[in-house]
Amino acid sequence: MQTSRISTHTVPDSVLQEYLRIQTQITQKDFNFDDFISLMEIKGKILYGQHFKLFQEDNHVLLQYYAYFTGDEALCKHYDIDVNKGLFLSGKTGVGKTVHMKLVRQFLGYKDRFRMKACQQLSLEYMDQGSPVLMNFGRNYVDYVDHNTINTSYCFDDLGTEDEVKHFGTQTNAMGQVILMRYELFLSRNVLTHFTSNLTADQIEQHYGERVRSRLRQMCNWIQYTTESTDKRK
């Protein structure tokens, strides 16, 4: 795993020193789960303030993050994780899905770093601009741009919170279309896609249909936050 540089103007010296220590460990490939948690907490304090912390109740999920993003073979085998697929993170509102993904992407190398896109925002953009918005993320887009651009991984945030929208009178489930397009990219170019959602697998099928649910299962590892995971916004 590679790391990105961080801004130091708001970081206490002690926190920066710990960050640099762990960064050195990563370079030396001596990077364990405790280091992973420490690095996420440091990044959390930088992004969200000194009050930020991770919760032990989420360690079972964070261990799966660690397995996936470091490629730990033993842990991946234990959790049945395929690093050649994306992640689908399912859990109730406020448990930390979005925050955890935003923290992880901060210290991935440039080639591995995915972009975040809110599903509600994408739907609103579709309502305003139409099909070109879908093409920005899907199959049709690859015919018109260079290979460095099309091989972009995304994390679509809060799948299921968006509404079906109309563009010039045509009602479309924009995210359902994007998922099918991303599936084609997954098959043809091994492009990874991640999702966060409050929906269960059954609710995904009710909302998007059996075909979309099946495609998500094929292209993603499903990671479930348990009922013990509390709302971190309180």
**How sure is the predictor about 167, in pLDDT bands with cuts at 50, 70 and 90?**
very low
- What pLDDT is recorded for position 23? 56
Does the pLDDT value for residue 206 go beyond 60?
yes
- One-letter-per-residue 3-state SS of the chain: CCCCCCCCCCCCHHHHHHHHHHHHHHHCCCCCHHHHHHHHHHHHHHHHCCCCCCCHHHHHHHHHHHHHHHCCHHHHHHHCCCCCCEEEEECCCCCCHHHHHHHHHHCCCHHHCCEEEEHHHHHHHHHHHCHHHHHCCCHHHHHCCCHHHHCCCEEEEEECCCCCEEECCEEECHHHHHHHHHHHHHHHHCCCEEEEECCCHHHHHHHHCHHHHHHHHHHEEEEECCCCCCCCCC
Task: Give me the half-sphere count of Cα atoms (radius 13 Å) on the Cβ side of residue 23.
Answer: 16
**Which of 17-21, 56-60, 68-72, 143-147 is predicted least confidently?**
143-147
Judge if pTM exceeds 0.95.
Answer: no
Segment 99-118, tens digit of pLDDT = 999 999 987 876 778 999 99
| CA 147 – CA 188 distance, rounded (Å) | 13
Within a 10 A sphere around the Cβ of 9, how many other Cβ atoms? Answer: 4
From 20-24, 32-36, 51-55, 146-150, the region with the lowest mean pLDDT: 146-150
User: What pLDDT, on a 0 to 100 scale, did the predictor assign at position 20?
Assistant: 60
For domain 82-224, give the fold: Rossmann fold (3.40.50)
User: In the structure, what pLDDT confidence band is assigned to residue 140 with cuts at 50, 70 and 90?
Assistant: very low
Q: Percentage of the chain surpassing pLDDT 70?
A: 75
What Cα–Cα distance (Å) separates residue 61 from each residue in 50, 112, 223? Answer: 23, 20, 7
AA identity, residue 157: D
Confidence of residue 168 (pLDDT cuts 50, 70, 90): very low
pLDDT of residue 2: 44
Closest CA to 100 of 214, 192, 213, 196: 196
- The 10s digit of each residue's pLDDT in 70-94 is 899 999 999 999 999 999 999 998 8
Q: What is the pLDDT of residues 41-55, one digit of tens each?
A: 988 988 888 889 999
- Indicate if the pLDDT at residue 141 is higher than 50: no
